[in-house]
Amino acid sequence: MRTFWGLMRAYWFSDRWREAWALTLVVAALTALSSKADVWFTVAMGKLSNSIAFFHDAANTAPLESLLTNAGLLVLLVVVKDAGITSIKSLVSATLHRKWRGWLDGRFNEALLDNNHTHYHAQNGSAGTPAPDNIDQRVQESIKDMTGGALGLAQGVFGVFTSLYFVGGALLANSVEVKGLEFLGSYGSVVLALLAVAIYVPFNTWIAVKLGGMLEWLNIRMQKAEGSYRGELLTLLRRSFHVSAARGEEVQKKIHGRLYLDIDRTWSKFNIVNNIYSGFESVYNFVAAKIVAFAPGLVPFINNKVDFTGYVTGSEQVNALISKCSWFIHVMPSLATLRANSQRVIELANAIENVQQPQDFYSQTGQSDFHYASQNPVFGLTIQKLELAHQGEDATPFLSAANLRFRRGEWAFLKGESGCGKTSLIKAINGLWPHGRGTIVFPDGVRSFYAAQEVKLQQVSLKQLVCLPGSEDDYGDAQVAAALHKAGLGDFIEHMADESREGKIWDQLLSGGQKQKLVVARIVLQQPGLLFLDEATGALDPDGKIAFHQAIKDNCPDVTVISIMHEAVAPRSASGEEFYHSVVAIADGVATKRPLVPNLPRELTTILTQPRPVEDKWMRFSRRLKQK
């Protein structure tokens, strides 16, 4: 689906080809029937016009009856054609549109949300190719408008051919000799009619294409401007509290004003070109219906080769033929939109395809040579010769780690100044850092869990939120309830099946600390063997942080934990025992690991803090004994 035609035909050659072709054939049959109905309409229109023209003719013995009969037949044909054939065709076409869009939407969702984290990597640009903007708009609006426009285009093109067959056939059947074109014999009038269509329509189509190109360019600009403005509004809603706390409304107004100004300027240009096109189309339609359609038949009518009924019928048939062949002109603004939308969808498809091999993709903008392997889980996690860098072939590594080993059940605490690369290190271990090199060896068959500082909750039930990344069907209600209780969220157990509470979704209802407790519930429920905590307790108070760690310690005894926190000292349990066994310190761009200094037993510490009685000399400790 990386080209226009590849994108257009993919659905018809997918696993749902029967559905696609069945609906397409029904639409095609109804389009052909509509073209045939045009012929019936022109004949009825000719008879009605003749009834009006010869209403007072002495030879017309029943003028009123003839007029009413022909008018009634014409109305009946219009009802059958527009309310019957056209309505049914629109319904089937809309069904095909819905099915095609749904299939494409499913394909893009599967591609973006795969285990390769394509949705994450696709937001990064490569050499000479910027990252696709407003992916949400491309998946939602561009696919919808593109599929609808493509179906309309296909029906229009097919309608031209069916109209040429049926209407052209009727013109050919009624063709007569034309004075001055005797060498054409009885084909004179049909050749004259087709010549008028062949000259008038293509020339004006060329003008429409030029104006349509301008509309297409402006349409793309408009979509980008609208997408940027909408994206900023969505971002504002997510950070509304922070804008309020910082009193940043005035700055936000300026941002919105600047983004909307881009929309306004582009919209103004689009309106100018669009109105020029509308004026052109109005003139074109008038000339086509009143002059070009009636001019070819005027010559044989003047020379008495056809009667008035034949003249009107033939002119209406030429008008119908022009109308069908002019479909391209009538839908040029829609076609420009189709081309704009298809371009944005193709750009997204190319971006998805480009990041299927992330390291190859990132190698275009810098070094990316990470190797991932597995080993016996007894040996835990191993990191060898790791270097992290930013984009650029000559970028200097900002973090290096020669050899880091984390045994099974070990808790390691990452410390270092802000910006030293703590989060980058965890991202690299999890395959989410683009540039650098090194080897990461995971314990085989061990489930890992990455808990970030900022928790964004999807709009699903509370039970599903606890079960992520798995399905809520994987765990029983009792298991999830127990996990919520252990995480300190027992008050919400009775609302596990709800997607919202008090009119708010869970992402809006839960505080930052409660969201981090929800992460604990996930960990307790899923029992990972490898746990990454990236400032996952930042929204909790000191007691909450202790409870966070204690819940993991009590329920995941063999888990290996690698944690980032802002605290200078790793937290301890309520009894004073260390949660962590080692410290990974990052200084001057180098990560080194060392064990935590063990504490003296609590009983010994108590004795040392008490005053020493003079008489109990035998209890005195040697000065050489040093507390470590």
pLDDT tens digit sequence for 48-60: 888 888 888 777 7
Give, in order, the Cα–Cα distances in Å from 23 to each of 17, 36, 97, 161, 589. 10, 20, 10, 19, 62
d(CA 261, CA 241): 26
Residues 487 and 513 sit within 8 Å (Cβ to Cβ): no
Lowest mean pLDDT among 404-418, 520-534, 567-581: 567-581
Q: Is 297 exposed, middle or buried (0-12, 13-18, 19+ CB in 10 A)?
A: buried
Helix (H, G, I), strand (E, B) or coil at 370: strand
DSSP type of residue 437: E
pLDDT given at position 148: 82
Average pLDDT over residues 114-131: 78
What are the tokens at 587?
């200084």
Give, in order, the Cα–Cα distances in Å from 150 to each of 9, 205, 335, 545. 11, 19, 8, 56
Residues 600 and 627 sit within 8 Å (Cβ to Cβ): yes
**What are the pLDDT digits (tens) for 228-263?**
888 888 778 777 767 777 777 888 888 888 899 999
pLDDT given at position 503: 84
Find residue 387's DSSP bridge partners. 400, 437
What are the tokens at 359?
């390291």
221 has pLDDT over 90: no
Confidence of residue 376 (pLDDT cuts 50, 70, 90): very high
pLDDT given at position 111: 86
pLDDT given at position 600: 46
d(CA 568, CA 580): 13
Helix (H, G, I), strand (E, B) or coil at 1: coil
d(CA 473, CA 494): 17
pLDDT given at position 302: 86
Q: How is 564-617 classified by DSSP, letter by letter?
A: E-S-SS--B-TTS-BS-SEEEEEETTEEEEEEPPPPPPHHHHHHHHSPPPSS-G
Question: Is 0.75 topped by the overall pTM?
Answer: no
Residues 600 and 628 sit within 8 Å (Cβ to Cβ): yes
- Helices of type H across 432-510: 462-467, 477-486, 506-509
Spell out the residues 6+ positions from residue 52 whose beta carbon is closer than 8 angstroms to its own. Answer: 67
Question: Among candidates 394, 376, 340, which has minimal Cα distance to 145?
Answer: 340
- Helices of type H across 288-373: 295-302, 308-325, 327-330, 332-354, 358-362
**What are the pLDDT digits (tens) for 588-610?**
999 999 998 654 455 544 544 45
Q: How is 331-344 classified by DSSP, letter by letter?
A: THHHHHHHHHHHHH
Q: Could you tell me the residue ranges of all domains in the chain? A: 4-356, 458-500
d(CA 246, CA 393): 39
Give, in order, the Cα–Cα distances in Å from 17 to each of 108, 208, 216. 18, 35, 31
pLDDT given at position 480: 94
Q: Which residue has the higher pLDDT, 196 or 335?
A: 196
d(CA 119, CA 111): 8
What are the tokens at 565?
């926190």
Question: Among candidates 75, 73, 67, which has minimal Cα distance to 49?
Answer: 67
What are the tokens at 342?
């298809």
pLDDT given at position 398: 94
Helix (H, G, I), strand (E, B) or coil at 265: helix
pLDDT given at position 439: 95
**Which H helix or E strand runs over 369?**
strand 368-375
d(CA 402, CA 448): 23
Helix (H, G, I), strand (E, B) or coil at 169: helix
Please, what is the average pLDDT of the chain?
A: 85
Residues 422 and 586 sit within 8 Å (Cβ to Cβ): yes
What are the tokens at 247?
């009193």
Q: Is 115 exposed, middle or buried (0-12, 13-18, 19+ CB in 10 A)?
A: exposed
d(CA 513, CA 531): 19
401 has pLDDT over 50: yes
d(CA 565, CA 277): 62
Question: What's the Rg (C-alpha) of the chain?
Answer: 38
pLDDT given at position 217: 86
Confidence of residue 328 (pLDDT cuts 50, 70, 90): low
Q: What percent of the chain has pLDDT over 90?
A: 32
Helix (H, G, I), strand (E, B) or coil at 262: helix
Domain 4-356 has CATH 1.20.1560.10: yes
Average pLDDT over residues 40-65: 84
Instruction: Count CA within 13 A, CB hemisphere, residue 547.
Output: 19
pLDDT given at position 522: 93
Confidence of residue 627 (pLDDT cuts 50, 70, 90): very low
d(CA 299, CA 302): 5
d(CA 434, CA 388): 9
